Amino acid sequence: MATTSHDVGLDPDPDQPPAASVRFLWRLRGYLRPHLGSVAVMLLTSLAVVGTSIGIPLVTRAVIDGPIADHELGPVLPLGLLALALGVVEAVLIFVRRWVQSTAVLAMETSMRHDLYTRLQELPMSFHSRWPAGQLLSRAIQDLSSIRRFSGFGLIFLVVNIVQVVAVTIVLLGMYWPLGLVVAATAAPIVWLSMTFEKKYVVMSRRVQDQQGDLATLAEEGALGFRVIKAFGRSEHVASEYERQARSLHASSMDKVHLSARFWTFLEVIPNLAVCVVLLLGAIGAGQGALTTGELVAFITLLLSLVWPVSSLGVILAMAQEAMSASARILEVLDTEPAIVGGDRTIAEPRGHLRFEHVDFAFPDAPDEVVLRDVCLDVPPGETVAIVGGTGSGKTALTALVPRLHDVTAGRITIDGVDVRDLELGHLRSLVATAFEEPTLFSMSARENLTLGRAEAPEADVEEAIDVAQAGFVRDLPWGLDTRIGEQGMALSGGQRQRLALARAVVARPRILVLDDTLSALDVHTERLVEDALRAVLGSTTGIVVAHRASTVLLADRVALLQDGTITHVGQHRTLLAEVPAYRELLSADAGDRVPA
């Protein structure tokens, strides 16, 4: 990847986007390096096309001033064949250029897409909590497409059209310099218009791209939260908010279109005015014998060949501005360095001995608000500890520190005596499996969801995990385990999603199993069946169980009471129930369970 965080100081904040400039496109040049051969072929063929387009009018001049003026038919055929040959060569060159261009540009876009997705996977939870999903989707789809379009069309034709304008102007000056000066003089208003257009268009382009990201976020939230929206009867409110954002995007897009239309209109007018002036002055010059009829025809033909390069300048500059804005938006993500970087150590024969040693933690966005402080906990291999605490005590934050979804602020967490920050990330996350309270399922088959953490899991392990999690309902789906689960598993109930997520964690066969209130959506009967099956699993692994229900506590060998971000008591359930009033009050709040002391 051709980017580093030190090239240009970007602020990776979606609310404070950097101004777009050509330097952002230049920083992405590394993606073109593997395709320099293709770029060279595209440039050479495009320049050769310019040569043939100039050659055909010159052959026309030779035909008019030669055999036609002299009334000789003999040379007409070879000159006509030469013009035909030039036309055929031009068509072949255009075909070769487009074929090579498509292959190279699509490969470049694929590489950029891969790097962007990889970086998104590397970035920490704090990054994803600040960035709306729609903004990231907009960058991964629309912005990459803008860069591809400019790289595959705009960049080549920007160079080729400039070369064509310069080359044709030189030929025209040599053919009849007074008219050549007229053509050259049209460059001044074009340059002035282009500079004015660029300053305004870059601002509008960035505004439109950001608003597209905001609209994508609203669309995603509306699609994923449709049940809540319907349940509260807020469909009209959500629709009106979406409509407001859509109208705002429409207004910005129309401003952008109006600016482009005015610019393109002037670009169309300037060469056409030049043609009118050349026709007038050329007719006078031909009448005075200053140039021949063939030269006048060739002059007009060459001048008309400049209409497209000049008028397309607006399209190309617009594409360039969009590509520059898109590059800035892409680099906002690529320049964000991962806050969590793995070490290079592995544990040859992991036992799963987990220790929290004077751990402090505060979220990166609020470093002064300490969530966990001086947490000490020793969980020997094969033991299960239940974490019990009130709302906001830091239970979920504590469990997130084990697989390094977040990093400790102070202290350390060790597995078998090795600091988790020294372990290679892939190895660490193969040792630790987590089942979250809010399970995330993917739009893939049930089997693929189950084997997400262990793709090579044998069928027997998958079936065993399904039985442990009481997730046998997947066998009754239309195509069994091969049935595709809808996005976020929304077609399933909350309890079914939790059971699938639990089965996924069990299939991974981790040394440390973290259950973050994974059974909260289950009914009492199903919960009891799952807990009975889980005891066998937890007997062979180290377990951390976040418990809100008193019945879940019985899965653990010991209980840790978490109060105000620190562990105040560790002991047997019966002991804490008898001796710690705060623990007794927490469990007594669970009116749905009655656990004997």
State both tokens at 161. Answer: 């059209």
Q: Around Cβ 109, how many Cβ atoms within 10 Å?
A: 18
Percent of the chain residues past pLDDT 70, beyond the cut: 92
**Residue range 66-80, pLDDT digits in tens:** 877 777 777 778 888
Q: Do 298 and 61 contact (CB within 8 A), yes or no? A: yes
* Distance in angstroms (rounded) separating the CA atoms of residues 51 and 109: 31
Q: If you count them, how many residues does the chain have? A: 597
Residues 291 and 421 placed together within one structural domain of the fold: no
Q: Do 47 and 160 contact (CB within 8 A), yes or no? A: yes
DSSP structure string for 330-398: HHHHHTS--S----SB--SS----EEEEEEEEE-TT-TTSEEEEEEEEEE-TT-EEEEEE-TTSSHHHH
311 or 410: which leads in pLDDT: 410
Across the range 428-452, mean pLDDT stands at 86
Residue 530 lies in a domain: yes
pLDDT > 50? residue 379? yes
**Residue 475: which CATH number?**
3.40.50.300
298 or 568: which leads in pLDDT: 568
Residue 6 lies in a domain: no
User: What value does the CA radius of gyration of the chain take, rounded to a whole number of Å?
Assistant: 35
Residue 1 lies in a domain: no
State both tokens at 464. Answer: 């065993």
Residues 99 and 167 placed together within one structural domain of the fold: yes
Confidence of residue 18 (pLDDT cuts 50, 70, 90): low
**Residue range 489-509, pLDDT digits in tens:** 667 877 888 888 888 888 988
Tell me whether strands 542-546 and 512-516 are parallel, antiparallel or unpaired.
parallel
- Given this model, what pLDDT does residue 437 score? 76
Confidence of residue 61 (pLDDT cuts 50, 70, 90): confident
* Backbone conformation region of residue 276, classed left if phi is above 0, alpha if psi is from -120 to 50, else beta: alpha
Q: Do 572 and 597 contact (CB within 8 A), yes or no? A: no
How many domains does the chain fold into? 2
Residues 314 and 448 placed together within one structural domain of the fold: no
Rounded (5°) CA angle 173-179-185: 85
Residues 278 and 383 placed together within one structural domain of the fold: no
Residues 173 and 26 placed together within one structural domain of the fold: yes
Q: pLDDT averaged over the chain?
A: 83
**Residue range 146-198, pLDDT digits in tens:** 888 888 788 888 888 888 888 888 888 888 788 778 877 877 787 777 777 76
Q: Give the helix/strand (H/E) hosting 52.
A: helix 36-63
State both tokens at 446. Answer: 């049930």
Q: 244 exposed, middle or buried (CB, 10 Å; 0-12, 13-18, 19+)?
A: exposed
**Residue 48: which CATH number?**
1.20.1560.10
Residues 409 and 285 placed together within one structural domain of the fold: no
CA distances from 553 to 41, 395, 402 (A): 69, 14, 20
Residues 456 and 576 placed together within one structural domain of the fold: yes
Domain span at residue 329 reads: 22-334
